[in-house]
Amino acid sequence: MTTLISEHASFGGVQRFYQHDSSAIGLPMRFSVYLPPGHEGKRLPVLFYLAGLTCTEETFAIKAGAQRVAAELGLIVVAPDTSPRGAGVPGESESWDFGVGAGFYLDATAEPWARHYRMASYILELRELVLREFGADEARCGIFGHSMGGHGALVLALRHPDLFRSVSAFAPIAAPSRCPWGEKAFGGYLGTDRSSWAAWDATELVSQGAVRFPAGILVDQGLADKFLPDQLNPHLFEEACRVAGQPLTLRRHEGYDHGYYFIASFVEDHLRFHAGQLG
Ligand SMILES: N[C@@H](CCC(=O)N[C@@H](CSC=O)C(=O)NCC(=O)O)C(=O)O
């Protein structure tokens, strides 16, 4: 059952927060959904936004300021939580970059994470729920996100180009197999055999060669982002796209940091990018 927690009128539409029992996660999960004005009875395009480390289903709705443009463009925008909550895995709340708030949008295979930490399957389950319960258009789903979630969006789109027709990211952790955040997460969730990591690494997926998004991928990156030098590595994703022939627009912005002031500055561009591709 999908239970409405709260709703707030916004730019002629409504910002809602829900809880439901997830079969992929095996626990209750929360998500937010923005429904633009006039959504009733229409098959509208839908965008899934995946947030970063320490965030929740509320972060994007509160901080990004996307509702005005989503209302104008007639876009449904859905944002899930960033991990299971209440899984009871020992140590899951001990660090901010692994465990609670840090599910990395993959399906864990290593114990003790494999039972509940299945965020990739969860996003696909949530997509089905949104198509069913909010009447979104199955053929017009896009995905974007920030940092951990920017990478999650890239990976989910690259793994399922049949399900997500457009993809973009803000400051994604672009090559997680080659940075401390990713090595910690992949080592914990997938185990120490690095050969299993490539299937969850956007740069590795692009390097396999198939052009999955011929109309292009959009990435924005702030140049004053404190995580850029050690964690994000957009140049590795850029090079993989160049070699594979995958069209990419990577915009580098002087002075912008990693936070939501950066995201709010460019979120309109991302919504228009997706609306243009989804039609
Ligand atoms: N606690 C950390 C900072 C955590 C942080 O910056 N989280 C980012 C995402 S980082 C990659 O996924 C975020 O979006 N935070 C929410 C916000 O409102 O900015 C530290 O101490 O550095």
The mean pLDDT of 72-83, rounded to a whole number, is 98
Residue 65 reports pLDDT greater than 90: yes
Q: Ligand 1 mean position to 52 CA, how many Å?
A: 7
Looking from the CA of residue 59, the nearest atom of ligand 1 is: 18
Q: What pLDDT sits at residue 210? A: 87
Report the distance separating Cα 53 and Cα 10, nearest Å: 26
Closest protein CA for atom 1 of ligand 1: 96
CB-side neighbour CA atoms (13 Å) of 69: 17
Closest protein CA for atom 21 of ligand 1: 96
Looking from the CA of residue 63, the nearest atom of ligand 1 is: 18
Q: What pLDDT sits at residue 267? A: 99
Report CA 38 to chain centroid distance, whole Å: 26
Report the chain's mean pLDDT, rounded to a whole number: 98
Please give the structure tokens belonging to residue 256: 């912008």
119 compared with 210, residue with greater pLDDT: 119
Residues above pLDDT 70, as percent of the chain:
100
Helix or strand or coil: residue 121? helix
Q: Ligand 1 mean position to 53 CA, how many Å?
A: 6
Helix (H) or strand (E) holding 218: strand 217-222
Report the distance separating Cα 99 and Cα 103, nearest Å: 6
Q: Work out the pLDDT band at 219, boundaries 50, 70, 90.
A: very high
Q: Ligand 1 mean position to 54 CA, how many Å?
A: 6
The mean pLDDT of 184-212, rounded to a whole number, is 97
The mean pLDDT of 34-39, rounded to a whole number, is 96
| Pocket-forming residues, ligand 1, beta carbon under 6 Å | 52-55, 59, 63, 96, 146-148, 258-260
Q: For 119-133, write each residue's pLDDT tens digit.
A: 999 999 999 999 999
Residue 72 reports pLDDT greater than 90: yes
Q: Ligand 1 mean position to 261 CA, how many Å?
A: 12
pTM of the predicted structure, to 2 decimals: 0.98
The interface predicted TM-score (ipTM) is 0.95
Q: For 88-99, write each residue's pLDDT tens digit.
A: 999 999 999 999
Q: For 7-30, write each residue's pLDDT tens digit.
A: 999 999 999 999 999 999 999 999
Q: Work out the pLDDT band at 209, boundaries 50, 70, 90.
A: confident
Q: For 242-272, write each residue's pLDDT tens digit.
A: 999 999 999 999 999 999 999 999 999 999 9
State the catalytic residues.
Answer: 147, 225, 258
Answer for the pair 223, 253: CB distance below 8 angstroms, yes or no.
yes
Q: Work out the pLDDT band at 212, boundaries 50, 70, 90.
A: very high
